[in-house]
Amino acid sequence: MWLNNATVASLPIKCSRHNTPSRSHSLYKLVKSCYAGGDEFVVVVCEKRDIFALTGAMARTLPLFNAKSTAPSIGRTVTVEFLLVGEDNKPLSNSDLSCLEALAHGVRLTAKIVDMPCADMHTDTFIEEVRAVGKDLGIVPRVIQGEECLDMGLGGIYNVGKAAEHAPALCYLSHTPDGAQKTVAWVGKGIVFDTGGLCIKSKVGMCTMKTDCGGAAAMLGAFYLAVKMRTCTSYSAWLRMLSGRKPSALMISLHFTQESKYHAGLVANNEDWEQACVKAGQVSGDLVHPVPYSPELHFPEFSSTVADMKNSVADRGNAQVSCAGLFIGSHLGFDFPGVWLHVDMAAPAHIGDRATGYGPALLNILFGAKSSNPLLQGLAPPGVIWERECMEVEDDVPSLKKVKLQPE
C-alpha cells in the first residue's frame, strides 16, 4: 500500500484435517515478514473460535530475548487489534482480554527460556524464572538442588548433572484452589544443554540442544496461565533442570526426540484423552498427533540382561517416539489406574533458530474445562473426559509393566 506504510495479507484458504483451522502458523510467517521495526499496529480479522490460537501466533512473533548488538536499547510497542467476524462477533470481555494477555506472556516466557544460551539460561537462572512466576502468582516454589537431590533420593537428577558448574535441580510449583476435586501433574524436562553425554551429539545435532529445556519452560508458561485464569483443579508442576545428559519425566510430560516440524508426538494410555489432546492442539495452534501405543510391541526394546531395563532402545527404527513415552509410562507402571500423556515436542519447540513458546496454549485448552475463564471453557474439549476415573490394564503388556519408581 501507499509508501509501503501498510501491508494487507490473507491466510491460505486450504486447511487439511491435521492442521489448525486458525492457520496460526501462516499468520506467524506473514506478520514476522512484514515487521519494519519501531512502533507498529497489527489488525487481525478472524472468528472468535480462532482468537486464542492467533494470539499465541502473534506472541511468537515478538520474542523477549535478543542478544544482537544492533538490538534497540529501548522497547517498542506493537499494538494488536482483533476484529471479530462471524456469528459470535461481540466485543471481547475483560476476562477474555486477561486470558489472551496471560497467554501472550506465557508463550513469550517459554520462548525466552528456550532461546537463551545455557551460559545465560543455566539451572540457577532457570530457578530465578520459576521464583519470579511463583512471586507473581503468590506461590513459593519448592527447589531441591545439588546435594539435597541426593539426600532426597533423586539419584538420576543428581548424577546426570553433578559435574556441571551449576548444580542440577528439581523445582515444584503447586496450586490447590478451594473445592478442587481433581489433581493434574505437569512434568517438564529442563536440560539447559544436552551434549549427549557418552553418546555425544553430532556437530549438526549439537546446535539445537539448548532447546532441550523446552518441556520445563512450557510447564512454567502453562502453569502461569492456568493459575492466572483461576483454575478450579489442583495443579502441580515439576520442572527437572540439568546441564548434561537427559532423564525423563512423568504424567503430563513434555520430552524431546522427533515427530514433525509442526506436530508434537503424543503417547497416551487413554484413547479419550488422546483424541481430546489432538482437538486441543487444533484449537490452540500447538498441533499434536498420536503415535502408536503398543507396549507389547515396543517396550521390549528396553530389555536388558543385567538390569530391569536399558535407558535406550535397541532398535531406533522401531517407533522411537512411542518407546520414549513408554519408558516414562513404565515408571508409573502399566497397571497405573490413572491417565497419563506424553507430549514429544522436540520439533515444534522451535522454528529454525527461534523458539516458538510451544506448550502453554495446548495444555490450557486441553484442561480448559476446569478453568474459571469463560474463553478457555468454551474452547476446551468436552468435560466428559474428566469423568473417567480408571483405566483397564492390558493383560498382554510385558512383564516390566510393574516397573515403578520406589521411594527410598
Q: Are 362 and 370 in contact (CB under 8 A)?
A: no
CATH of the domain at 140: 3.40.630.10
Question: Is residue 14 pLDDT above 90, yes or no?
Answer: yes
Q: What is the mean pLDDT of residues 40-47?
A: 95
**Max mean pLDDT range (124-138, 153-167, 310-324):** 124-138
Lowest mean pLDDT among 17-21, 54-58, 188-192: 188-192
> Same domain, yes or no, for 330 and 291?
yes
> Same domain, yes or no, for 156 and 272?
yes
For 278-304, what is each residue's pLDDT tens digit? Answer: 999 999 999 999 999 999 999 999 999
- pLDDT band at 389, cuts 50/70/90? very low
* Per-position DSSP letters for 166-221, written without gaps between them: S--EEEEEEE--TT---EEEEEEEEES----TTSPPPTTGGGGGGGGGHHHHHHHH
Question: Is residue 141 pLDDT above 90, yes or no?
Answer: yes
> Same domain, yes or no, for 168 and 28?
no
In this prediction the pTM is 0.88
62: domain range? 2-103
- Listed in sequence order, the DSSP H helices in 255-401 are 271-284, 295-298, 320-332, 360-366, 374-379
Nearest-CA neighbor of 286 among 107, 97, 408? 107
Nearest-CA neighbor of 403 among 284, 311, 321? 311
Question: Is residue 124 pLDDT above 80, yes or no?
Answer: yes
Confidence (pLDDT) at 379: 96
Confidence (pLDDT) at 305: 92
* Residue 407: inside a domain: no
Confidence (pLDDT) at 296: 92
Q: What is the mean pLDDT of residues 131-156?
A: 93
Question: Is residue 366 pLDDT above 70, yes or no?
Answer: yes
> Same domain, yes or no, for 200 and 59?
no
* Residue 111: inside a domain: no
> Same domain, yes or no, for 190 and 123?
yes
* Residue 110: inside a domain: no
Nearest-CA neighbor of 328 among 243, 403, 273? 403
Confidence (pLDDT) at 165: 87
> Same domain, yes or no, for 212 and 358?
yes
Q: Are 184 and 234 in contact (CB under 8 A)?
A: yes
Domain boundary among 76, 103, 130: 103
CATH of the domain at 76: 3.40.50.10590
> Same domain, yes or no, for 6 and 144?
no
Sign, Cα dihedral of 379, 380, 381, 383: negative
Question: Is residue 74 pLDDT above 80, yes or no?
Answer: no
> Same domain, yes or no, for 83 and 144?
no
Q: Is 359 exposed, middle or buried (0-12, 13-18, 19+ CB in 10 A)?
A: buried
> Going along 227-340, which residue ranges are E strands?
234-242, 252-255, 264-268, 288-290
The phi, psi pair for 126, rounded to 5°, reads: -60, -45
Question: Is residue 134 pLDDT above 70, yes or no?
Answer: yes
> Same domain, yes or no, for 128 and 245?
yes
SS (H, E, C) 7-63: CCCCCCCCCCCCCCCCCHHHHHHHHHHHCCCCCEEEEEEECHHHHHHHHHHHHHCCC
Confidence (pLDDT) at 377: 95
Confidence (pLDDT) at 3: 59
> Same domain, yes or no, for 134 and 232?
yes
Q: Are 334 and 295 in contact (CB under 8 A)?
A: yes
For 220-262, what is each residue's pLDDT tens digit? Answer: 999 999 999 988 788 888 877 665 433 333 244 444 445 578 9
Q: What is the mean pLDDT of residues 364-370?
A: 94
Confidence (pLDDT) at 245: 39
Confidence (pLDDT) at 91: 92
- pLDDT band at 139, cuts 50/70/90? very high
Q: Which residue has the higher pLDDT, 250 or 51?
A: 51
* Residue 23: inside a domain: yes
* Residue 408: inside a domain: no
Cα distance between residue 271 and residue 322, in whole Å: 15
Sign, Cα dihedral of 380, 386, 392, 398: positive
Confidence (pLDDT) at 126: 94
First to last CA, the chain: 68
Q: What is the mean pLDDT of residues 328-349?
A: 88
Question: Is residue 76 pLDDT above 50, yes or no?
Answer: yes
Total structural domains in the chain? 2
> Same domain, yes or no, for 62 and 155?
no
> Same domain, yes or no, for 188 and 145?
yes
* Largest Cα span, the chain: 73
Question: Do β-strands 341-344 and 252-255 pair in parallel, antiparallel, or remain unpaired?
Answer: parallel
* Residue 374: inside a domain: yes
* Residue 245: inside a domain: yes
CA angle 145, 151, 155 (to 5 degrees): 75
Confidence (pLDDT) at 392: 43
